Amino acid sequence: MLTHPTEQRLVALGLAGMAKALEEQRRQPDIAALAFEERLGLMVDREATCRDNKRLVRRLKFAGLRQNAVVEDIDMKAPRGLDKALFAKLAAGDWIDRHQNLIVIGPTGVGKSWIACALAHTACRNNRSVLYQRVPRLFDALALTRGDGRHARLLKTIARVQLLILDDWGLANLTPDQGRDLLEIIDDRHGRSSTVVTSQLPVENWHEVIANPTVADAILDRLVHNAHRLTLRGDSLRKAAAKRPGLDGKQDT
């Protein structure tokens, strides 16, 4: 509990991190050995850390990532053909500053969504705005907002984020409305921000998913030609994890 008047004043000024640091310093008998500037520096560092953490929490909440993944936990030894050099460059995040895209292709279970969310988490840590969307649910949301006047607002929100994750693309053929919505999203973001697309469908088959050939050409021209590609292969990692010994020491089936 903060009882010192200075601590209360710091909290009132919105400096809760400094107030907490001051409270902790008052409880440390050897803190007087530090110079005033050193003690003040510790308080300022604490405030900066608290603010950074709060911003990260807000960014992650807005992003709505499907997986709680971080790049440090990516299994680089898993047999799925992950290009380690390219992944290291992607984790650095410069491609986002250059408004480039990323396409992650591979069969189900090889970790496409996990990798996309890990890169998105890093982007959040680097103070970039991120939004995760499963493509089927995104189209459902856009269809609902078209009828209540929120359609343009949702498209504007999607356009503003620095990194957009479009997960599970290509599971079903697009309707004409869905094709137009996707074109609006990609066109709004082209040259201004970055998009990650994960799909089980090879890029050369994407054209078939979009009913209107003209719309398909426009989407792929803006999305694919400015994209890095991670092509994964191998068996499902979920299946491999299920075969590991369970808590009772027996083999899972």
Highest mean pLDDT of the ranges 82-86, 208-212, 214-218: 214-218
Task: Choose the final residue of a domain: 34, 62, 90.
Answer: 62
128-157 pLDDT, tens per residue? 999 999 999 999 999 999 888 899 999 999
Claim to verify: residue 77 and residue 52 sit in the same structural domain: no
Q: How far apart are CA 197 and CA 188, in angstroms?
A: 16
Q: How far apart are CA 143 and CA 128, in angstroms?
A: 28
Claim to verify: residue 197 and residue 73 sit in the same structural domain: yes
Residue 157 domain-assigned (yes or no):
yes
Long-range contacts of 121-127 (CB under 8 A, 24+ apart): 121/60, 121/65, 121/69, 121/70, 121/71, 122/70, 122/71, 122/91, 122/93, 123/93, 123/96, 123/162, 123/163, 124/56, 124/59, 124/60, 124/63, 125/56, 126/93, 127/55, 127/59
> Are the beta carbons of 106 and 232 closer than 8 angstroms?
yes
User: What single-letter DSSP state applies at residue 73?
Assistant: G
pLDDT for residue 33: 82
Q: What's the pTM?
A: 0.81
Residue 152 domain-assigned (yes or no):
yes
Residue 252 domain-assigned (yes or no):
no
Claim to verify: residue 28 and residue 117 sit in the same structural domain: no
Give residue 20's domain range.
5-62
The residue assigned the tokens 């869905």 is 178
User: What single-letter DSSP state applies at residue 252?
Assistant: P
Domain count, the chain: 2
Contacts of 206 (CB under 8 A, 6+ apart): 169, 170, 199, 216, 220, 224
pLDDT at residue 17 is higher than 90: no
Claim to verify: residue 129 and residue 114 sit in the same structural domain: yes
Average pLDDT over residues 78-100: 89
CA nearest to 162, candidates 188, 135, 136: 188
Which of the residue ranges 1-15, 94-108, 122-136, 184-198 would you say has the lowest mean pLDDT?
A: 1-15
Claim to verify: residue 123 and residue 231 sit in the same structural domain: yes
How wide is the angle at C-alpha 164 spanned by C-alphas 127 and 182, nearest 5°?
155
pLDDT at residue 3 is higher than 70: no
Residue 253 domain-assigned (yes or no):
no
Residue 72 domain-assigned (yes or no):
yes
33-59 pLDDT, tens per residue? 888 888 888 889 888 888 888 999 999
Average model confidence (pLDDT) across the chain? 88
167-181 pLDDT, tens per residue? 999 999 999 999 999
Q: Which two tokens stand for residue 52?
A: 């950074």
Claim to verify: residue 21 and residue 134 sit in the same structural domain: no
213-242 pLDDT, tens per residue? 999 999 999 999 999 999 998 766 555 555
pLDDT for residue 247: 43
* Residue of higher predicted confidence among 166 and 251: 166
Q: How far apart are CA 159 and CA 129, in angstroms?
A: 11
Residue 54 domain-assigned (yes or no):
yes
Q: How far apart are CA 25 and CA 18, in angstroms?
A: 10
Contacts of 185 (CB under 8 A, 6+ apart): 155, 158, 159, 164
The residue assigned the tokens 């075969």 is 243
